[in-house]
Structure 1
Amino acid sequence: MSNKEAVIELVKRLPSDVSLREIAQEIEFIASVQEGLDQIDQGKGIPLEDVEKMIDSWTTK
């Protein structure tokens, strides 16, 4: 599915009273997720074990 098709499908699923700002935020969210998935595909992701350690360090004092 192309980016254009993904945005069209997104807009179709949103309620009719959604604001332009909310539409823009939804598109930005989807773009960010897609960018992250692309980075993972390129081997640029952070291993799960490292992420778990980072989260532990944030929540433990």
Structure 2
Amino acid sequence: MQTAVSEVKELLNKLPEESSYEDIQYHLYVIAKIQQGIARAETEGTVSHEEVEKHFDRVFD
């Protein structure tokens, strides 16, 4: 598992030199949200595609 510092360094190396502070903050926000989602899926589980389709079929019929 990478440390936060190493992940930020990797991100900075991938972004264009002309990236603004706002661009960097946005990318960090997205990375954090993805990590939170993965952690939540690991602890709470996920719903299959078929289950989602069944749910929406009931809701929108």
The TM-score, its normalising length taken from structure 1, stands at 0.74
RMSD: 2.3
Which amino acid in 2 is paired with 1:48? S
Aligned to 1:21: 22
After TM superposition, the score normalised by the length of structure 2 is 0.74
Percent of counterpart pairs with the same letter? 27
Q: Which has the larger radius of gyration?
A: 2
User: What is the one-letter code of the residue matched to 2:17?
Assistant: S
Change (3 A) 1:19 1:54: farther
Q: Unaligned stretches of 5+ in structure 1? A: none
Listed as ranges, the gaps of 5+ residues in structure 2 are none
Q: Which runs of 4+ in 1 moved over 4 A?
A: 53-58
